[in-house]
């Protein structure tokens, strides 16, 4: 089992992979086949991507608050832990 740090390092790519997999399955009509565990992982991926996007937008204009940075890190950690549980 890879350490959580590997999942944290790859969080952006993993989140995009989950979103892409969801999209492919939705387009193919396989929504009923998606497990509850995958749906929960997808939800966490979306929350992480939204927090990351918001933080990056505010970072770009030097407006990132400590709360937003903390939320980004917390959603990243939560997503990485969910990935670890899902893939292993």
**Number of domains the chain is built from:** 1
pLDDT band at residue 1 using 50, 70 and 90 as cut-offs: confident
30-74 pLDDT per residue, tens: 999 999 999 999 999 999 999 999 999 999 999 999 999 999 999
- Mean pLDDT along residues 17-23: 98
Contact 14, 52 (CB under 8 A): no
* pLDDT score, position 26: 97
Domain that holds residue 73: 4-87
Residues above pLDDT 90, as percent of the chain: 98
User: Structure pTM?
Assistant: 0.93
* pLDDT score, position 49: 98
Taking the C-alpha atoms of residue 47 and residue 66, their distance in angstroms, rounded to an integer, is: 18
């Amino acid at each position: 089992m890879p350490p959580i740090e590997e999942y944290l390092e790859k969080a952006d790519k993993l989140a995009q992979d989950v979103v892409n997999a969801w999209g492919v399955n939705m387009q193919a009509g396989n929504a009923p086949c998606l497990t509850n565990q995958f749906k929960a992982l997808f939800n966490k991926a979306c929350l992480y991507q939204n927090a990351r996007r918001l933080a990056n937008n505010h970072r770009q204009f030097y407006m990132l608050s400590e709360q937003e940075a903390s939320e980004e890190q917390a959603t990243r950690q939560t997503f990485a832990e969910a990935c670890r549980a899902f893939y292993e």
